[in-house]
Structure 1
Amino acid sequence: MEFQPVQIARHYLPHRTHYYYARSKFATDPLYRVVAEALTDTHRPLLDVGCGIGLLAHVLRGNGFSAAYSGVDIDSGKIRSATAAASRAGLKSTQFSEVDLSREFPQHRGSVALLDIVQFLEPSAQDALLESALACLDPGAVLIMRSGLARPGWRLRFTRFVDWLARMARWMNVGPKAYPVREELEQRFARHGVQARFESLSGRLPFENWLIIARRSEQAPNDRQDHAAAPPASNRPTIAVQGLPT
């Protein structure tokens, strides 16, 4: 299967809003291709937190990613649309679930995607989400994020403005709360024994967008024992939010 943006968008019909959203997203946002390339050599199951209508699943399958994919989102309408589109496309080992992360974090071992979601949480909720996501990583797994970073400059102001427009258009359930600080993320990753790289996705676009890829190596000898297994959902920190954007 190859990445065919128009064909993927057609799987969302007769929901024309999601059809046109998919067309415009693929035409203007390099995120999905970049994420698919980053996961090319990863064979661990993927949990896509805040999956929206599930566009990433289609791109991953088109790029040859064959591991199990699980998308979760609080928006039941988007989950229904994602499920229907995946069924029409015949995507295998792909499932979508409605999940409120303020109540629970899914049981998962493998890679985790947090795309355009962290900045919409209060700092305490960001901490809880990142800790839960990092606890899921097993050897060879990847945490892949896209977010603006708290840096001085006009790009962040523009990004915050666009994030608020998404809220006003009701595509997001909440407006932006806080953009993470790179140094704090690096310190968190180091505590969990994962190595991370930061890549600017701004290019010629006016956004303060960064791709963050944190990878757990194949069981390094100094890995902390308490990160060897993900804690059960009941023991993980609560992500205290009204609802996550998608």
Structure 2
Amino acid sequence: MPTLENLNPHAPFPADRARQIARAFAPRRPWGNWWDYSYTRIKLGSDPLYPGAIAALRHHPAPVLDLGCGLGLFAHAMRAAGLEQPYRGIDIDAAKIRRGQKIVQRTGLAGVELQVHDLSAGWPAHHGSVTILDVLQYLDGPTQHALLNDAAGMLGPDGVLVIRSTLAEDSARGRTSLRADAWAHRIGWMQARPVHYPTAQGLRQTLEAAGLQVSLQPLYGNTPFNNWLLVARR
């Protein structure tokens, strides 16, 4: 599959490329479960999350630790976009990790490792880049604060911290995001309920106090959600 070197960081993957990437998540038989394929295709084709995160990582060759990786879809998106950084993804959902591991093995995705890990109980040692994509709201305030400080300490000279999160705002987008997160938990896609949505000011204060330079911008594209992309580096 030819790589995409010039993705628009504020738009989702083109429909044909979203379909190609999602094909790895299709069942091997027509009568299998098509949920993962349908989810990944819709996610890639409608949400600018991964192009935005890829743009932030493109010129940072350090290994990537993806906290809350789910099925490991970001690793597939990275490789499709030509990023070759070693990737380790961790997530509390053992079923998603098992499915993701099988897909990595089946597709021969190089330099990718997926592990079961509960962020509420801590996180592994790492030195490089860190991504935290649509995860923070599932951690309480003190755990978020500790994670952000430790993630800042993980950054190597070529590392960058990339966060996509819904921010706490009393707005139409904010309320839609809360309802969508509650629905994802209700149907069983997310094991945990959201417990604490961060604020823009809180994220900035924590990371700047840790010695990082922070940029923050909307990354919701055509979706109705209140999602923002934060990129921090030394």
Which category of TM-score, normalised to the shorter sequence, fits these structures?
Answer: 0.7 to 0.9
CA RMSD of the aligned region, Å? Answer: 1.5
Structure 2 residues not aligned, in runs of 5+: 5-16, 28-32
The equivalent of 2:217 in structure 1 is: 199
Match of residue 126, structure 1, among 131, 141, 144: 144
The 5-angstrom pairing of residues 131-170 of structure 1 reads 131-170=149-188
Choose from 45, 60, 65 the match for 2:83: 65
1:197 maps to a residue whose letter is S
Q: Is the 8 A contact 1:12 1:84 kept in 2?
A: no
Normalising by structure 2, what TM-score? 0.87
The aligned runs of 1:45-194 (5 Å cut-off) are 45-194=63-212
Separation in 1, partners of 2:223, 2:85? 32
Paired amino acid for 1:163: D
Specify the alignment match of 1:9 in structure 2. Answer: 22
TM-score, with structure 1 as normaliser: 0.83
SS of equivalent residue, structure 1 residue 102: helix
Residue type of the alignment partner of 2:21 = I
Q: How big is each residue's C-alpha offset from its partner over 1:67-118, in whole Å with a ceiling of 9 and x where there is no partner?
A: 1100101111111111121222221111111112233311110111101110
Deviation by residue 1:14-57 (Cα, 9 ceiling, x = unmatched): 24211111111112111111111221111010000110001100
Give, as a single letter, the amino acid of the residue that structure 1 aligns with 2:209. Answer: R
Three-state SS of the structure 1 residue aligned to 2:173 is helix
Identical aligned residues as a percent:
40
Higher relative contact order (CA 8 A, sep 6+): 1
Asked if structure 1 preserves the Cα contact closer than 8 Å seen for 2:130 and 2:161, the reply is yes
- Report deviation, 1:126: 1.2
Which aligned runs of 4 or more in structure 1 are off by greater than 4 angstroms? none
Distance change in 2, residues 1:29/1:203 (3 Å) = closer
Match of 2:13 in 1: none
Return 5+ residue gaps in structure 1 as ranges: 217-246
Aligned residue number for residue 242 of structure 1: none
